[in-house]
């Protein structure tokens, strides 16, 4: 293991090893997000080769998004029990295995099993909970900035690789694009195995911004606790209206991002005559703006009332979605959409995590956010299926996009109902402003 000597060498240069862990986590979330985003450019090739309908393909992808979210709370428990490095390595192996086996699929049930169930489980283990866990364990100072960086890597990975995958798929077939994803996953797995450590104490360091090395609490309970603990946490936090507001707004967040734009945007643009590579390039532009928007959101979340941040993020996103059908799908109109939409594609994560941490405490933050993120992916799964249903039944995606825009405006207002935190707040007490 090279992490201990590397941590000592960096410490002599006043560089905290936490930044190495952040870099490895950034790479992991970037690559796994590319696997999550891959189906967005594969819908049309799969339709052409196998004759499957958009609704059938969207069903498989909605299962993947659902599992991607529902695994979040349990992923946090797995990381506490087995360690971050082991869980991430297993997750990368599942994603790569499911992707590789899909090269030989010929039936729709195989797509559902591999892209839906197997990859859904794998990506769920490396979802936003991984970034939240690393940020809260390794950093006290600059935690919001770190969380913004890691969140940006996830969103950027979902979008930035899409033009390349679309180009490879168009010129060499969807299997070649899938093989590229497998190669990226192998690189990430090697980096995690060599450099990832579970906690700062593993390399004899305090968390960034602290002076004392924190002692790791002994793990109690058996494997059964990995299922019981997340459910017990859900029972406890479900008494708080703050949790339900965060859950509802994140449901809308997922419906208006992963489920709709990521899954159906390329096909939507194809309905208006745009080539897949061109549409994927617009998504990459969103990823570019999102990278800076989400990092900026992390910086702001340390300084500004997070409720108002969510209000503006959801409000601007809703306005951009309602504008999209009137963009004429020209390069100019889509560029405007990509800029405004991209700036807050997933900028909602840092303020949501900060609000969850403030209300429920640092120790519960990862698992609480896991359940909030489950709401995100429930919304994503609903929109993934709903978009496919709208296109199959009504020959248009536009009803789904108008609905998502209106929901975002509702989420903006919901965010303001969260009562300001105080040190006297307790889980289960009312948290809605009166």
pLDDT in tens, 265-289: 888 888 888 887 788 788 778 877 8
pLDDT tens readout for residues 323-344: 988 888 888 888 889 888 888 8
The answer to whether 225 touches 135, Cβ cutoff 8 Å, is no
Tell which residue, 239, 183, 168, has the closest CA to residue 428: 239
> Each residue of 197-250: pLDDT tens digit?
888 888 888 888 887 787 765 555 566 667 787 888 888 998 899 999 999 999
Query: pLDDT of 89-107, one tens digit each?
Result: 999 999 999 989 988 888 8
Q: Are 433 and 419 in contact (CB under 8 A)?
A: yes
Residue 187 has pLDDT above 60, yes or no: yes
Average pLDDT over residues 39-53: 79
What lies within 8 Å, CB to CB, of 409 at 6+ separation is 314, 315, 318, 319
> For position 431, what pLDDT does the model report?
38
The DSSP output letter for 107 is S
Domains and CATH numbers, the chain: 14-195+239-415 (1.20.1250.20)
Neighbours of 406 (CB within 10 A): 13
Under DSSP, the state recorded for 208 is B
Q: What is the pLDDT of residue 126?
A: 80
pLDDT at 150: 83
Task: State yes or no: pLDDT of 13 exceeds 50.
Answer: yes
Phi, psi of 418 (to 5 degrees): -75, 125
Q: What is the pLDDT of residue 155?
A: 64
The DSSP secondary structure of 316-383, one letter per residue, reads HHHHHHHHGGGSTT-HHHHHHHHHHHHHTSSTTHHHHHHHHHHHH-HHHHHHHHHHHHHHHHHHHHHH
Q: How confident is the model at residue 434 (pLDDT cuts 50, 70, 90)?
A: very low
Return all residues near 308 (Cβ < 8 A) that are at least 6 apart.
415, 416
Tell me how far CA of residue 212 lies from CA of 32, 123, 177, 209, 294, in angstroms: 34, 34, 47, 10, 31
**How many other β-carbons are positioned within 10 Å of the β-carbon of residue 40?**
25
- pLDDT, residue 426, reads 46
- Model-level pTM? 0.71
Tens of pLDDT, residues 149-174: 887 776 666 666 777 787 888 888 88
Radius of gyration, alpha carbons of the chain: 21
Q: Which DSSP string corresponds to 13-70?
A: TT--THHHHHHHHHHHHHHHHHHHHGGGGTHHHHHHHH---HHHHHHHHHHHHHHHHH
């Amino acid at each position: 293991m090279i992490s201990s000597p590397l941590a000592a060498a960096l410490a002599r240069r006043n560089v905290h090893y936490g930044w190495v862990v952040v870099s490895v986590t950034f790479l992991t979330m970037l690559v796994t997000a590319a696997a999550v985003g891959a189906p967005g450019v594969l819908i049309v090739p799969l339709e052409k080769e196998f004759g499957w309908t958009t609704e059938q393909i969207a069903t498989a992808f909605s299962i993947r998004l659902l599992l991607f979210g529902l695994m979040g709370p349990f992923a946090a428990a797995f990381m506490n029990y087995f360690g971050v490095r082991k869980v991430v390595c297993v997750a990368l192996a599942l994603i790569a295995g499911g992707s590789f086996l899909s090269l030989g699929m010929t039936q729709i049930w195989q797509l559902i099993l591999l892209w839906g169930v197997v990859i859904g489980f794998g990506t769920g283990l490396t979802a936003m909970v991984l970034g939240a866990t690393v940020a809260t364990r390794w950093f006290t100072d600059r935690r919001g900035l770190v969380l913004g960086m890691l969140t940006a890597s996830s969103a950027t990975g979902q979008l930035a690789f899409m033009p390349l995958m679309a180009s490879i798929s168009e010129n060499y077939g969807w299997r070649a694009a899938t093989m590229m994803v497998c190669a990226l996953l192998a690189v990430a797995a090697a980096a995690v195995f060599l450099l990832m450590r579970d906690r700062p104490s593993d390399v004899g360091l305090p968390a960034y911004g602290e002076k004392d090395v924190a002692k790791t609490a002994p793990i109690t309970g058996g494997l059964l606790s990995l299922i019981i603990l997340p459910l017990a946490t859900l029972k406890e936090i479900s008494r708080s209206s703050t949790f339900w507001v965060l859950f509802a707004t994140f449901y809308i967040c997922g419906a208006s991002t992963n489920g709709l734009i990521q899954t159906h945007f390329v096909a939507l643009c194809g309905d208006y005559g745009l080539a897949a590579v061109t549409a994927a390039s617009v998504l990459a532009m969103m990823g570019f703006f999102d990278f800076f928007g989400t990092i900026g959101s992390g910086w702001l979340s340390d300084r500004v009332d997070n409720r108002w941040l969510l209000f503006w993020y959801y409000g601007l996103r809703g306005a951009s979605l309602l504008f999209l059908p009137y963009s004429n799908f020209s390069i100019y109109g889509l560029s405007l959409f990509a800029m405004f939409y991209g700036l807050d594609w997933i900028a909602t994560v840092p303020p949501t995590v900060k609000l969850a941490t403030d209300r429920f405490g640092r120790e519960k933050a990862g698992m609480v956010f896991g359940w909030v993120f489950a709401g995100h992916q429930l919304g994503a799964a609903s929109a993934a299926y709903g978009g496919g249903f709208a296109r199959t039944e009504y020959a248009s995606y536009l009803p789904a996009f108008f609905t998502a825009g209106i929901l975002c405006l509702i989420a903006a207002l919901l965010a303001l109902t969260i009562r300001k935190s105080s040190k006297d707040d307790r889980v289960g007490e009312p948290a809605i402003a009166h």
